[in-house]
Amino acid sequence: MMKKVTRMVGKYEVGRTIGEGNFAKVKFAQNRETGESVAMKILAKSTILKHKMVDQIKREISIMKIVRHPNIVRLHEVHQGRLSENESRRYFQQLIDAVAHCHRKGVYHRDLKPENLLLDAFGNLKVSDFGLSALRQKGVGLLHTTCGTPNYVAPEVLGHQGYDGAAADVWSCGVILFVLMAGYLPFEEIDLPTLCRKYSCPFWFSPVAKALIDKILDPNPKTRIGIEGIKKHPWFRKSYEPVGHSEEEEVNLDDVHAVFDDIEDHYVAEQLENSEGGPLVMNAFEMIALSQGLNLSALFDRRQDYVKKQTRFVSRKPAKVIISAFEAVAESMNLKFHTHNYKTRLEGISENKAGQFAVVLEVYEVGPSLFMVDARKASGETLEYHEFYKNFCAQLENIIWKPPEGC
């Protein structure tokens, strides 16, 4: 009979895989000293380095240590179907308690959705997955990173003008409440104009519940109800029992810094060895935000972009070949150029001799052997920029990829 192999990580015995994502596995594990069952998230150092995730993972672990709360854990579960108004209220109360705690600690979740909520054996809600969270920084007001899940993201996050993390989290909580009570999403399309239009509540929503949801799903973050306003609302106050917990526990992040400083040292050494890293990786959400909601056709048909000051195209050539092509065309057009970290700045004199004309071209990796070039006007007239872009792309036809006919 084959002997069972026991895998230990510190004091934890690691068991079966209970979840798996793009960059990590979640395994069942048990503390051999206490018998406590836990979920262990496992990431390979090589993956962290390859995808430049050191800061992200370090931030997630630090935040998980900071926001200790009875309604916050790391695992997630998807709610299916609609719940009664009383059930929805109970879970929403616990969600708001957890989010309020995060905000007091200077943490904005930025990816609140049903998939990131767990119900424990006692029916208590737990918030999970702080991978996209942000920590409040001194001297920094609005956040600017476009992130989250499109169906639950606040309209101001898509506006690229900066947003308040607390107000954006409140919007996501409102969408979650709507989904819990309705069983479907309040918005069919995920773009800025749709999110700013009025939605309709189903007939079974009570008037007082609808009134609260209307205050939460206010597209204007400045007039949107906040956490304290939600807690004072009559619908929320019904049968509300605030969770008791201690907030005085000191948090020590020395172990986090020790682990990731070592990884960063490894990363710096690897970068020096390779002399230069690869282009930035663009995720699907960022592509959607750049490409007018869920319409990605502008990436492949440059004519759709001519009215904008920002344009883009896709290439299947290696990133270094793309950069070399930029420099060769710039030289033929008598433009100055400077390249650093797969970002090229082209400079010249405006046709009307009124000043300097400048364009920035940046290469992003969006998939295996697939790169997106994002071009934007840095200075000069917009019409002149579009004329330049058309001429510039005409000389790059050998690197611009077009989908096959019929795709």
Which residues are within 8 A (CB) of 279 and not within 5 positions of it... i.e. 6 or more apart? Answer: 319, 341, 342, 362, 363, 364, 365, 371
Q: If you average pLDDT over residues 237-256, what whole number do you get?
A: 72
pLDDT for 22: 60
- How many angstroms separate the CA atoms of 230 and 236, rounded? 7
- Residue 148 near residue 78, CB atoms below 8 Å: no
**CATH no. for residue 75?**
1.10.510.10
Mean pLDDT of the chain: 76
Q: Are residues 56 and 115 in the same domain?
A: yes
User: Is the predicted pLDDT of residue 231 greater than 80, yes or no?
Assistant: yes
Q: What is the pLDDT of residue 276?
A: 54
Q: What is the pLDDT of residues 91-116, one digit of tens each?
A: 999 999 999 999 998 889 988 988 88
Q: Residues 70, 124: contact at Cβ < 8 Å?
A: yes
Each residue of 271-288: pLDDT tens digit?
544 445 677 776 655 555
Q: What string of H, E and C letters represents the secondary structure of 103-125?
A: HHCCEECCCCCHHHEEECCCCCE
Same domain, 222 and 345: no
* pLDDT at residue 382 tops 80: no
The pLDDT, as a whole number, for residue 209 is 96
pLDDT digits (tens, 9 = 90+) for 314-360: 888 888 899 999 999 988 888 888 888 788 888 887 665 556 778 88
Are residue 189 and residue 111 in the same domain, yes or no?
yes
More confident residue, 379 or 273: 379
Q: Which of 380, 327, 390, 375 is nearest to 349 (CA)?
A: 380
* Whether residue 50 is found in the same domain as residue 33: no
Residue whose structure tokens are 């960059």 = 23
Q: Which amino acid is at 277?
A: G
**What is the model's pLDDT at position 77?**
32
Q: Is residue 121 part of a domain?
A: yes
Beta bridge partners of 391: none
Q: Are residues 232 and 95 in the same domain?
A: yes
Average pLDDT score over residue span 179-186: 88
What is the total count of domains within the chain?
3
**Cα distance between residue 282 and residue 291, in whole Å:** 12
Sole residue written with tokens 């008791």: 244
> What's the CA gap between 135 and 166, in Å, rounded?
11
Any idea what DSSP says for residue 188?
S
Residue 172: closest CA among 189, 193, 188, 148 = 148
Q: Is the dihedral of CA 310, 311, 314, 319 positive or negative?
A: negative
Lowest mean pLDDT: which of 66-70, 202-206, 241-245?
66-70
Catalytic residue among 111, 164, 169, 305: 111
Q: For residue range 25-81, what is the model confidence (pLDDT) as tens digits? A: 777 788 777 777 777 777 766 666 666 666 676 666 666 666 566 655 543 233 556
Question: For position 306, what pLDDT does the model report?
Answer: 39
Most confident of 130-144, 259-273, 298-312: 130-144
Query: Would you say 107 and 66 are in contact if contact means Cβ atoms under 8 Å apart?
Result: yes
59 and 199 in a single domain? The answer is: yes
Last residue of a domain, one of 237, 267, 289: 237
* pLDDT attached to residue 214: 95
What is the reported pLDDT for 262?
60
Using the predicted structure, report yes or no on whether residue 198 has a pLDDT greater than 70: yes
Tell me the C-alpha distance between 142 and 136, whole Å.
9
Phi and psi angles of residue 232, each rounded to the nearest 5 degrees, phi first:
-90, -10
Q: Are residues 159 and 184 in the same domain?
A: yes
pLDDT for residue 299 is more than 50:
no
Enter the DSSP assignment of 158: H
One domain, residues 161 and 292: no
Task: Check whether 226 has a pLDDT greater than 50.
Answer: yes
Backbone angles phi, psi at 13, to 5 degrees: -90, 120
Q: What is the pLDDT of residue 298?
A: 46
Residues 221 and 333 in one domain: no
CATH of the domain at 363: 3.30.310.80
**Domain of 15?**
10-42
Known catalytic membership, residue 111: yes
Same-domain check for residues 57 and 17: no
61-75, 106-120, 212-226, 298-312 — which is least confidently predicted?
Answer: 298-312
Mind listing the pLDDT tens digit for each residue in 248-260? Answer: 566 666 666 665 5
Query: What is d(CA 153, CA 398) in angstroms, rounded to the nearest whole number?
Result: 38
One domain, residues 24 and 94: no
The alpha-helical segments, DSSP class H, found in 105-247 are 155-158, 165-182, 192-195, 207-216, 227-232, 234-237
Among 203, 237, 271, give the residue marking a domain's end. 237
